[in-house]
Amino acid sequence: MFLTQRGLRLLVKLLYAADHVPMDELKNELGVSARTIYYELKRVNDWLAFHQFDCVRHVRGSGFYIISEQQNRIKEMLPQLGDSEYGYTPLERRALDLLFILSQPAPVFVEDLIDLTDVSRNTVLEDIRLLKSELAKQGLTLDFKLSAGYFVAGVETAIRHEIHQWLNRIERLAEVNKLPIEIGQAYFPLSVACLKELLHTCETELHIEFADHTLESFSMELCFYFNRIQRGKYVNVTTEEMRTLQETDEFTAALRFMTRASKEAGISIPDEEAYFLSTLFLSAKRQKQAEAKQSQEHCLIRSIARNMIFEFERYACIVFQDRDKLEANLVVHLKPAYYRMKYHVDAVNELADSVKQAHPEVYEITKKVVHHLEKAACAPASENEIAFLAMHFGGWMKREGLQPVSRCSVLIVCAEGVGTSAIVKQQLIDLLGYVNVAGILTKREYGKLDSVAVDFVVATTPVEPKGKPVHVVHPIFSNHDKKTLLKYGEASNGHQEHITLAKVVAAVRKHATVYNEQALLSELKTILQAPHRQWKEEWKPVLNELLTEKTIFLHQTAQDWKEAIRKAAAPLLADGAIEARYVDAMIQSVEDNGPYIVITPGVAIPHSRPEAGVNRLGMSLATFKEGVRFSNKDTKPVKIVIVLAAIDSVTHLRALSQLTSLLGEPGAIDRLAEMTSTKEVVSLIQQFSTI
C-alpha cells in the first residue's frame, strides 16, 4: 500500500493536531486545492484500512481528525514505513542526489541516482539539470567524467554551506525516518549520536544550550562535514578571520571538540576546521545564552541593537516602554545573526513568508533598520534574517501596558530558540489575556518530565501529552490556532473562575449572613469577571481613512516648532480624537528626546504614547509655507507636519507604511508642500491608499 510524500505529511498533521483540522488549514499547510486534499485523504484512508485502522473522520464545521484511541499505534508505525511507500518530491530528490554525490567515496552515476530516488532515467537527468543551475548561482559546478562520475567542484566552504541548506530542506524526511539508507551513516566516520554527545559537552563548556532544532540538524551536518574531512576536503580560513575567531570562547570549544572528534574517528583534522566549526557555533540559534562578557564584539552588537530599536521607534511612531529588556533580548538574537551574515551562513527560516504575510508593515520597517547590522557584518541581510528580526520586534510591540491577570496556566514547549519562545509567549498573553505562563521548555527538557501541573501545553513541535492536553501551533499563530486556544482558554478560565467565586462566597459567610447565595454569586461574577476577549481580525485603516479634507490644513504659519505642532494637531483636538494634554505630551517628547520626529528633511511626524491623551486613532496634516526648524542642525526647514494619534503600537502601521511610500516618491514632499487645495492633497493620498 503506497503513501505519497504529501499523503504522509497529511497523516502526520492529523496525528499531531490538538483538535479537528479544518479544510482551509490543510490547504494552507500542503499548498494544494481542496480537490487534491480529498484525493490524498482517499489514499490515506486506503492505507489506514489496509493496516486495520479506522478511516479519517470529519465533523461539519470543525474539520478532520483521527480517533484518539488509535493515534499512538499509528505513530508507532510511521518509522517502519518501507521506502516503497514514500514518494519523494522533486526538491527532495535533488537534495538527496546532491548529498549522495557529496558523501560517496566511489564514483556516482545515473544508475545510482535512479536506485536512490526510485524514478526514471529522464527524471534523474532533469533533476541533475536543475541542480546544476541552482549550484551555479553559488559559484559551484556539478560536472561529470566517465572515470569519476558526478562531482561538485568549487570552494569547500561554499560546498559546506550547500550541505547546510539542502539538509534543512529535507529535515522532514529525517523526522519520519525517510532518509534512504544510502544517505545513512555507512560512510560517516562519526555517528549522529556520537556527534550529539560531543555537542552536549560543548554546551556545558560554553554555558549555553542550542535550540532543539539546531542540535538535531547540526549533528547531521557534522556527519557530512567529517565525511568530507576524511576524504581530504578541507576549508580555508584567512589569517584575519583566524585572528578574530581566536578571541572567542567558541573557538576554544571548537578546538576541544575537534580533538575529541579526531580521537573518536581516528582521523587527522587540520586546525582550519576548528576555525570553521567556531563560526558555526557562533552563528547557531540558542535556547539559553551564557552571561554576556563586556567584550568589544558584545559592545558592537549592543550598539547595533540600540540603534535599530531607536530607528524602529522612529519609523513606526511608537515608544517601547521596556526598551532595556527589548535590547537585551535583541542582542541574544543579533549575535548569531551577525556571525551568520559575516561568515555567509544562510539562515533557514520557514516562517519568513508567514511573517511577511501576517505582519507586512513590521517586516518593511525592520527591512529599513537592518542596515545597522549589515554595515557591521559587511554583508546584506537575507529575507530570512529580516523575518527573524521582524518576529522579535513584532513580539514586543503589543507588550505596552499589558498586565495580564492569571487565570489558566500553560506550559510552552519550543524547539526553535529563545527568540521564538518569547514571541509565542507574547502571542498567548495578547490572545487570552488571563493566562499564567508557568514556564518555557525545550523539547529535551519537556521529554524528561513525567507529568505537568498546568491546564494545557502549547508546543511548536509535536510532543507527547503528559496528562494534559497539548496544542501544537505555528510559531506565528494561524487563525485556526487562535480560535482553538481561545476556545480552550475560555474553558480553563471558567473552571478557575468558579473556584475563585466559591472562595469569595465562603469568606463572606464567615463574617455575614447570606440570605440569597445565588444572587450574591451572580453579582460577584458580574463584578469580578473580566471582559470577555473575542479574537477578531485586526482593523488596520488605510491612509485615506485617516487623512481626509477635515484633517488637512494647508499653508499655515507658525513662530516656532511648538506652535507648528499645536496647529497641526488642531483638527484632531476639535474632533475629540485627542485631548489637550496629548499636544503637551508631543511637545515634551521632542524636548526630552530631541527632534527625532523629523523622519526625513522637510517632514515631521510628532506623536506620543496612547495613554497621554488619545481617545481614538487619528492623523492630521498641516503644511507651512515658510517652514519651521526643529533644531539648529536642520539643513531644510520642515514644511509638512503630520500628527499621529495611535491607540496602540500596531493599528496605525498600514496607514503609516502607505504614508512612507508617498513621501518616498521622487519630488513628492516638495509637491505636497506647494499644493493649495485640500482636494488635490486627498487625490494624491488616494493613490497610496490601497487595501
pLDDT tens string 116-155: 888 899 999 999 999 999 999 999 999 999 999 999 999 9
Contact 461, 472 (CB under 8 A): yes
Residue 400 has pLDDT above 50, yes or no: no
Check residue 428 and give its pLDDT: 81
Q: HSE, CB side, 13 Å, CA atoms: give it for residue 605.
A: 19
Nearest to 364 by CA among 22, 57, 658: 658
Residue 564 has pLDDT above 60, yes or no: yes
Q: HSE, CB side, 13 Å, CA atoms: give it for residue 151.
A: 14
The lowest-confidence range among 89-103, 337-351, 656-670 is 337-351
More confident: 482 or 273: 273
The three three-digit cell numbers of residue 199, written as one number: 555537542
Alpha carbon of residue 331 to chain centroid: 16
Residue 433 has pLDDT above 70, yes or no: no
CA dist., res. 130 & res. 115, Å (int)? 19
pLDDT digits over 609-650, tens only? 888 899 999 999 999 999 999 987 767 899 999 999 998 888
DSSP code per residue over 113-146? HHHHHT--HHHHHHHHHHHHHHHHTTT-EEEEET
pLDDT digits over 576-595, tens only? 999 999 999 999 999 988 88
Considering Cα of 352, then 353, then 354, then 358, what sign does the dihedral take?
positive
Nearest to 308 by CA among 389, 231, 420, 397: 389
CA dist., res. 553 & res. 623, Å (int)? 7
Name the region of 31 (left: φ>0; alpha: ψ -120 to 50; beta: rest).
left
Second-level CATH architecture of 296-397: Orthogonal Bundle (1.10)
CA dist., res. 562 & res. 560, Å (int)? 6
Check residue 92 and give its pLDDT: 85
The three three-digit cell numbers of residue 69, written as one number: 484511541
Q: What is the mean pLDDT of residues 90-94?
A: 88
The most confident of 43-57, 78-92, 160-174, 250-264, by mean pLDDT: 250-264
Q: What is the mean pLDDT of residues 42-66?
A: 88
Does CATH number 1.10.10.10 belong to domain 88-183?
A: yes
| Band of pLDDT at residue 405, cut at 50, 70 and 90 | very low
Q: What is the mean pLDDT of residues 63-75?
A: 86
Name the region of 257 (left: φ>0; alpha: ψ -120 to 50; beta: rest).
alpha
Residue 490 has pLDDT above 60, yes or no: no
Check residue 254 and give its pLDDT: 95
Nearest to 230 by CA among 193, 267, 192: 267
More confident: 57 or 2: 57
CA dist., res. 220 & res. 163, Å (int)? 10
Contact 245, 275 (CB under 8 A): yes
Contact 64, 56 (CB under 8 A): yes
| Band of pLDDT at residue 180, cut at 50, 70 and 90 | low
Q: Cell numbers 554555558 label which residue?
A: 207
Residue 691 has pLDDT above 70, yes or no: no
CA dist., res. 207 & res. 185, Å (int)? 30
Check residue 495 and give its pLDDT: 43
Specify the amino acid at residue 378.
C
CATH of 3-85, one of 3.30.565.10, 3.40.50.10420, 1.10.10.10, 1.10.940.10: 1.10.10.10
Contact 18, 471 (CB under 8 A): yes
CA dist., res. 314 & res. 319, Å (int)? 8
The lowest-confidence range among 325-334, 384-393, 561-570, 631-640 is 631-640
Check residue 356 and give its pLDDT: 80
β-pair type (603-604, 598-600) = antiparallel
| Band of pLDDT at residue 535, cut at 50, 70 and 90 | very low
Check residue 366 and give its pLDDT: 93
Contact 413, 420 (CB under 8 A): no
**CA-to-CA dists, residue 477 to 9, 448, 540, 670, angstroms:** 20, 27, 18, 43
Nearest to 346 by CA among 355, 336, 335, 354: 336
Q: Is 513 exposed, middle or buried (0-12, 13-18, 19+ CB in 10 A)?
A: exposed
The H or E element that residue 659 is part of is helix 653-664
Q: What is the mean pLDDT of residues 146-168?
A: 93
Check residue 174 and give its pLDDT: 63
Asked if domains 408-528 and 543-686 share a fold, the reply is no
The three three-digit cell numbers of residue 658, written as one number: 502607505
The CA-based angle 299-304-308, given to 5 degrees, is 150
CA dist., res. 470 & res. 459, Å (int)? 7
pTM, entire model: 0.63
| Band of pLDDT at residue 19, cut at 50, 70 and 90 | confident
The lowest-confidence range among 1-15, 199-213, 242-256, 643-657 is 1-15
Nearest to 375 by CA among 422, 342, 414, 413: 342
**CA-to-CA dists, residue 556 to 565, 597, 685, angstroms:** 11, 19, 20
First to last CA, the chain: 48
Check residue 1 and give its pLDDT: 53
What is the four-CA torsion angle of 599, 600, 601, 607, rounded to 10 degrees? -20
Going from N- to C-terminal start, the domains of the chain cover 3-85, 88-183, 192-284, 296-397, 408-528, 543-686
Residue 293 has pLDDT above 60, yes or no: yes
Check residue 536 and give its pLDDT: 43
Alpha carbon of residue 12 to chain centroid: 23
Check residue 355 and give its pLDDT: 77
* CB atoms inside a 10 Å sphere around CB 40: 21
CA dist., res. 21 & res. 64, Å (int)? 5
CA dist., res. 398 & res. 391, Å (int)? 12
Nearest to 17 by CA among 55, 51, 45, 56: 56
CATH tag, 408-528: 3.40.50.2300
**Helices 383-397/323-342 angle, 10° precision:** 170
Considering Cα of 404, then 406, then 412, then 417, what sign does the dihedral take?
positive
The three three-digit cell numbers of residue 4, written as one number: 505519497
Check residue 526 and give its pLDDT: 56
**Helices 23-30/34-50 angle, 10° precision:** 100
CA dist., res. 331 & res. 305, Å (int)? 6
Check residue 530 and give its pLDDT: 40
C-alpha radius of gyration, the chain, whole number: 29
Contact 284, 218 (CB under 8 A): yes
Q: HSE, CB side, 13 Å, CA atoms: give it for residue 344.
A: 9
Contact 437, 425 (CB under 8 A): yes
Specify the amino acid at residue 671.
R
Nearest to 492 by CA among 443, 438, 451, 538: 438
CATH of 543-686, one of 3.40.930.10, 3.40.50.970, 3.40.50.2000, 3.40.47.10: 3.40.930.10
Q: What percent helix, strand, coil does the chain show, rounded to 5? A: 55, 10, 30
Phi and psi torsions of 67, nearest 5°: -60, 135
Q: Taking every pair of C-alpha atoms in the chain, what is the biggest distance, in angstroms?
A: 99
CA dist., res. 630 & res. 594, Å (int)? 8
CATH tag, 192-284: 1.10.1790.10
Nearest to 477 by CA among 409, 408, 428: 428
DSSP reduced 3-state for 552: strand
CA dist., res. 470 & res. 457, Å (int)? 5
Average pLDDT over the chain, rounded to an integer = 84
Enumerate the active-site residues: 607
Residue 185 has pLDDT above 90, yes or no: no
